[in-house]
């Protein structure tokens, strides 16, 4: 038998209870003993998921609900590891994607836009999108090009995006408290300090696992400045609304007098 095939079968852990049966394709049947040719087929797990002989998940015949559920579960795991990277700090670097920056930047921008309802010309949403895009590009360029780290560009985008989760918690708490007790300054300031420190700490924990000890002036300064700018924008746009000013009195133009 082909040793490559034997290695693939061995790597599939046939003694695992998840493996239900193996279906080989028509090319592997009807051959003489010892002549296996190109073995093709599917491995059916007990939850009816198909895995190819090479061990890759086949999602062509998967229901849409299962695909969405699996993707949301993966995103949830990445958010959890971005919030608490101590258990598995390498997770975001291995399972990187670009959903984090897109989701959290959109969410923060929409919440800030909603909180500035009194100003119909507010532009918080494009501001957050622009700051996240330019800030991520600047930090990535500094680390990858100038400092020549081993982390790839997409891994940096993934880490910086998912570590915006504390900023999203910041705007969420501020938005909820706005309906309960109003926009209290000291609460907003504590959220500003906590979200900034949390984002910088989690990012440094994840990158340190890949790059080793980080140099504060060169490695942490761009990251800290990036999250500090975003937190300052959130703090500024979640401030108390301006005092309502009475509209100016209408100018009454006297009617021309008619002379008789």
pLDDT at 58 over 80: no
Sketch the domain layout of the chain as residue ranges. Answer: 3-58, 74-237
Of residues 195 and 26, which shows the higher confidence score?
195
Query: pLDDT tens, 125-155?
Result: 888 999 999 999 999 888 887 777 778 888 8
- Secondary structure of 105-117 in HEC code, one letter for each residue: HHHHHHHHHHHCC
Kindly list the distances between the CA atom of residue 188 and the CA atoms of 107, 109, 129, 167, 184, in Å, as whole numbers in the listed order.
18, 17, 22, 12, 6
Dist. CA 216–CA 193, nearest whole Å: 19
| Residues 6+ positions from 99 with CB-CB distance below 8 Å | 75, 161
Tokens 């190109």 label which residue? 38
Region 34-47 average pLDDT: 47
pLDDT at 25 over 80: no
Region 3-12 average pLDDT: 47
Query: pLDDT tens, 144-191?
Result: 877 777 788 888 899 999 999 999 999 999 989 888 887 788 888 999
Phi-psi region of 182 (alpha: psi -120 to 50; beta: other; left: phi over 0): left
């Amino acid at each position: 038998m082909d040793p490559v095939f034997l290695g693939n079968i061995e790597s599939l852990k046939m003694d695992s209870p998840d493996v239900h049966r193996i279906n080989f394709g028509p090319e592997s049947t009807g051959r003489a003993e010892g002549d296996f040719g190109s073995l093709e087929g599917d491995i059916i797990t007990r939850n009816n998921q198909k895995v190819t002989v090479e061990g890759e998940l086949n999602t062509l015949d998967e229901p849409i609900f299962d695909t969405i559920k699996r993707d949301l579960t993966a995103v949830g795991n990445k958010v959890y590891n971005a919030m608490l990277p101590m258990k598995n700090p390498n997770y975001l670097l291995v399972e990187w994607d670009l959903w984090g920056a897109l989701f959290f930047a959109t969410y923060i921008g929409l919440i800030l836009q909603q909180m500035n309802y009194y100003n119909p010309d507010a532009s918080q949403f494009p501001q957050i999108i622009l700051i996240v895009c330019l800030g991520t590009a600047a930090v990535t360029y500094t680390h990858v090009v100038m400092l020549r780290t081993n982390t790839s560009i997409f891994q940096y985008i993934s880490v910086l995006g998912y570590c915006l989760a504390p900023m999203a918690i910041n705007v969420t708490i501020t938005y909820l408290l706005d309906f309960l007790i109003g926009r209290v300054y000291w609460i907003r300031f504590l959220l500003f300090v906590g979200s900034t420190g949390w984002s910088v700490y989690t990012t440094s924990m994840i990158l340190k696992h890949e790059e080793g000890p980080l140099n504060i002036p060169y490695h942490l300064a761009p990251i800290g400045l990036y999250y500090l700018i975003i937190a300052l924008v959130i703090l500024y746009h979640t401030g108390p609304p301006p005092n309502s000013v009475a509209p100016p009195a209408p100018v009454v133009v006297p009617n021309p007098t008619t002379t008789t």
